[in-house]
């Protein structure tokens, strides 16, 4: 499989996956993995796709609670990975790199969804417990068809 084909397949997988698994490093050095909303899914977040298309390639965006363990783990040790998969098709994409908590209010507003008050309370976008996390991938592994395709992601 040519690298362009693998990258195209990876982007389709990112869009089709219902959820994305985010792994961070716990204080004891053991990975912590949890399911997150897949903001890259046009089916679930159609209104975000134009904004996401204008972002740096191979970045994965998440919304989360500021009070969550994952935010503390990312602030302490930014190493993280995201795994998108289609279990019924036995395909998956693992992206590894560095995650950070985004402080830019414009980014937080761009990502915000009105129904997220169920997670962040009536203060919504202004809630101190609303955070955005970005993972800037440095490498990728695409699994499927009994093979693995690996590549490095160059950043400008």
Is the pLDDT at 1 greater than 60, yes or no? no
Domain count of the fold of the chain: 1
Residue 67 sits in a domain of what CATH number? 2.30.110.10
Cβ-contact 143, 92 below 8 angstroms: yes
Global pTM?
0.94
The band of 49, judged by pLDDT with boundaries at 50, 70 and 90, is very high
**For range 43-47, the mean pLDDT:** 96
pLDDT of residue 2: 54
Domain interval for residue 92: 3-152
Q: In this predicted model, what pLDDT tens digit does every residue of 72-93 receive, in sequence order? A: 999 999 999 999 999 999 999 9
Closest of 29, 150, 31, 24 to residue 79, by C-alpha:
24
In the predicted model, what is the mean pLDDT of the chain?
Answer: 95
**For range 5-21, the mean pLDDT:** 96
**What is the distance between the terminal CA atoms of the chain, rounded to a whole angstrom?**
25
């Amino acid at each position: 499989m040519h690298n362009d084909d693998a990258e195209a397949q990876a982007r389709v997988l990112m869009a089709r996956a219902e959820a994305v698994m985010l792994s961070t490093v716990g204080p004891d050095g053991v990975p912590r993995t949890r399911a997150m909303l897949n903001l890259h899914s046009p089916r679930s977040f159609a209104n975000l796709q134009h904004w996401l298309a204008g972002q740096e390639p191979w970045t994965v965006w998440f919304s989360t609670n500021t009070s969550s363990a994952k935010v503390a783990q990312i602030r302490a040790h930014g190493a993280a990975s995201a795994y998108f998969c289609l279990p019924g098709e036995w395909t998956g994409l693992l992206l590894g790199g560095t995650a950070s908590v985004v402080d830019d209010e414009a980014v937080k507003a761009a990502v915000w969804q009105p129904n997220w008050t169920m997670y962040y309370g009536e203060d919504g976008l202004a809630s101190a417990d609303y955070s955005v996390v970005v993972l800037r991938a440095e490498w990728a592994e695409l699994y499927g068809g009994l093979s693995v395709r690996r590549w490095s992601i160059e950043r400008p």
